């Protein structure tokens, strides 16, 4: 079942290791088949070194296991809430990558200071509020999804223009139209997190990128008038 998607999700999970975004078992990638309403996701707590395509777990949009011998990622319900809310998402990544997680632990948005950031993220990467004690005690993973949605909706953020977020005290989530694109956005998110920290260390009075320069770099890669790359 969903063999092509399993392969894509497996390879996307391995790409997290290749791009130094995960240690041990700290991360997961999922992908969704919208026609079937089924999600493929990494199994919980399984090492990347020993994992194979057959280990990927298929779940429905209620989190029930449809196929697979292993338990799905403990973050599955968070992924599900995002897929339910945003129908243009095809892949989701969660990591505990060092620099993005550091901003999450500091409970700060990641500011846009330069064109590297603006090429992919149209504006700051938002940081969610912390979850309440009640939200942590009751359906923690579902409430993590809810607080991500709450943050995006309250700030009127387009999900594909800002393809990632950091959850306060927790870590980054990123997404895309495919699992591979979600991983690419996770790579960018980690790198711009590092650059922002270094930038502030070098100049504590730095201002955000000029709006005109942000627009130039974002829209030359995205939208109907984009001209970056090959047609």
Active site residue ranges? 119, 228
Task: Compute φ and ψ for 34, nearest 5 degrees.
Answer: -65, -35
Name the nearest CA neighbour of 145 among 170, 122, 120. 170
Contacts of 54-58 with CB under 8 Å at 24 or more apart are 54/6, 55/10, 56/6, 56/9, 56/10, 58/1, 58/2, 58/6
Decide: 127 and 206 in contact? Cβ < 8 Å: no
| Burial (CB count within 10 angstroms: exposed 0-12, middle 13-18, buried 19+), residue 4 | exposed
- Those residues with Cβ within 8 angstroms of residue 201's Cβ, 6 or more apart along the chain or in another chain: none
Per the listing, tokens 């196929």 go with 67
* Largest Cα span, the chain: 54
Contacts of 130-139 with CB under 8 Å at 24 or more apart are 130/168, 130/169, 131/168, 139/77
CB atoms within 10 A of CB 3: 11
Alpha-carbon torsion angle 154, 174, 130, 86, nearest 10: 40
């Amino acid at each position: 079942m969903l063999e092509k998607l399993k392969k894509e999700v497996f390879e996307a999970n391995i790409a997290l290791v290749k791009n130094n975004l995960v240690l041990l078992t700290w991360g997961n990638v999922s992908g969704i088949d919208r026609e079937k309403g089924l999600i493929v996701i990494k199994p919980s707590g399984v090492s990347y070194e020993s994992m194979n395509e057959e280990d990927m777990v298929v779940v429905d949009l209620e989190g029930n296991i449809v196929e697979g011998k292993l338990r799905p990622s403990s973050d599955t319900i968070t992924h599900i809430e995002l897929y339910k809310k945003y129908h243009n998402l095809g892949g989701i990544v969660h990591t505990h990558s060092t620099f993005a997680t550091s901003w999450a632990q500091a409970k700060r948005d990641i500011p846009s200071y330069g064109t590297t950031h603006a090429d992919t993220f149209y504006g700051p990467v938002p940081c969610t509020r912390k979850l309440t004690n009640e939200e942590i005690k009751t359906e923690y993973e579902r409430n993590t999804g809810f607080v991500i949605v709450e943050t995006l909706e309250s700030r009127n953020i387009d999900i594909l223009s800002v393809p990632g977020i950091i959850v306060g005290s927790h870590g980054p989530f990123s997404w895309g139209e495919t699992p591979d694109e979600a991983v690419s956005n996770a790579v960018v998110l980690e790198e711009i997190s590092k650059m922002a920290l270094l930038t502030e260390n070098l100049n504590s009075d730095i201002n955000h990128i000029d709006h005109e320069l942000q627009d130039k770099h974002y829209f030359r890669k995205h939208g109907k008038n984009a001209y970056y790359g090959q047609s």
